A and B are shown apart, each in its own frame.
Chain A
């Protein structure tokens, strides 16, 4: 019963999940293979959004263990976001069309 209860109490989010799955598929189909690597890297940066969770956890942390773990989580999340976007930009920088 637990699972059904979970679904019904989060039904809005579940709808959103399903919609987003379709949006994701739609956005990515018909991508030229040239862009696969930058696209993967860009998507990699976007899932760095997990850092928001890390910030919330850190902001509510009490006790040394939570604080230390939260601190590491925020660093890791930032690495994901910053590194991800910067690497992607470096790749795409090279796709400028030559005149």
Chain B
């Protein structure tokens, strides 16, 4: 029977790799996810019924296992089904935290188990070596898992708006100190200089504390990068379980996510033209941003009335909409689609310009717009849309700011200098829809707003869009 289990684990491992591969192409992504899910279910049930320990005993406590599975499935399913698309990033973070916690708890139980075994039998040299190996893995699972858990929950809270940006004076020093302390404690614990449950739990507490403080000062705009990083952490924590139980499927699944997650993290950083270190040290965004660093000297902005804006768009040949997080917050994606449809009916060519980090996560804006039935072909990525702005009559910026700030190209002293932007300033007219003149995440002024061909349309994105749609309709 154990042969069957091994083969099933093999199949599951292949589905993970295959699924991940398919997830990286738009056409096959959905099936890829389902294939990986099928592999996972197979592996879970095979473990429950076929797993045997070294003495040939099957797993016990089946009733409890099933009860836990049912509870977890019910809660997970409901949460995942009910969550708003705009709240997707924090949901991912939450589930990631659960995985991290799971890995940390496994380490705690295994540590207690190890102590129990040691206490009840005399140690042979072989056992001592095995014990040492296990301690490394248990510690790694504990530390990585709990950092990931604490960090993810903080990230979740911050994105939900339940936790505010917060940083201590000398936060970086505290963080580095904690990290060093963790390292030293682990080494001492491993070599046996310090031992006993008390130190084990101290390491647990320091890890949790580090996870919390590590995410706390990072600004909202950088949160996706952090979530992606913590995601790969959890992958590594899961792989530790693979070592602990000589379980290949855990090892493969974990390491695959660990490495893929790291690459994804780096890719996201590149899209914002920032290094990972820069994000983690967090010198822009969040509480550390100290107001406008390079003022454009204020200047004057022009406001436009809704009816003028409607006329401008109605009689344009080509309109490009630049959606930003403001659109997502206002839940205005459906209204935006409505405006697009009405303009298209009138013969206007409408496209969407999607910045790689539009929304809260790369690709997040695409998900939101796709949810409101915007055709996939209309969503144009930055490199493809930039040359088109010169032939665009009207650009409508809805709730985006930093991604259209020309300072990224022209002002070397700007904190966002070098970040690729949507070059909307090349268009004939620009209408910027914003709640107020407040700065974006980067906390800097936007020179675009003061250009002669830029018009400001203040108000809530959804409310304004609804009225715009009515204006266009009535013409």
Contacts and interface: CB of A to CB of B under 8 A. Distances in A.
A92 B251 contact: no
B4 interface: no
B29 interface: yes
Nearest to A61: B61
* A contact residues, range: 35 or more
A85 B36 contact: yes
B158 to A, nearest CB: 17
B30 A69 contact: no
B231 A89 contact: no
Interface in A29-83: 29-61, 65-67, 69-83
B184 interface: no
B239 interface: yes
Contacts of A48: 40, 95, 99, 238
B77 A83 contact: yes
A78 B72 contact: yes
A20 B356 contact: no
A43 B260 contact: yes
B106 interface: yes
A6 B73 contact: no
Given A36-B361, A86-B81, A94-B370, A50 B254 contact: yes
A47 B99 CA distance: 7
Given A25-B263, A40-B228, 5 more contacts: A33-B381, A38-B33, A46-B235, A49-B238, A55-B65
Contacts of B114: none
Contact of A82 (B32, B80, B129, B232): B80
A52 B260 contact: no
Interface string A1-41: 01101100110010011001111110111111111111111
Per DSSP, chain A at the interface is helix
B170 interface: no
Contacts of B72: 74-79, 81-82
A60 B60 CA distance: 6
Interface stretch (B42-50, B310-318, B321-329, B408-416): B42-50
B34 interface: yes
A42 B106 contact: no
B242 interface: yes
Contact of B363 (A36, A45, A71): A36
Contacts of A46: 16, 19-20, 36, 40, 235, 253, 256-257
Interface in B243-287: 243-264, 267-268, 271
Per DSSP, chain B at the interface is helix
A72 B64 CA distance: 10
B180 interface: no
Interface of A: 2-3, 5-6, 9-10, 13, 16-17, 20-25, 27-61, 65-67, 69-95, 97-98
Contacts of A60: 53, 59-60, 113
A32 B23 CA distance: 11
A45 B36 contact: yes
A24 B36 contact: no
Contact of B105 (A41, A72, A92): A72
Contact of B51 (A28, A45, A59, A92): A59
B84 to A, nearest CB: 11
B23 A39 contact: yes
The 8 A-B residue pairs with the shortest CB-CB distance, nearest first, are A78-B72, A59-B59, A24-B259, A82-B76, A53-B241, A49-B253, A36-B362, A83-B76
Contact of B24 (A39, A78, A90): A39
Contacts of A95: 26, 29-30, 366-367, 370, 376
A32 B363 CA distance: 9
B292 interface: no
8 contacts: A13-B251, A36-B264, A37-B92, A60-B53, A71-B64, A89-B33, A89-B37, A97-B376
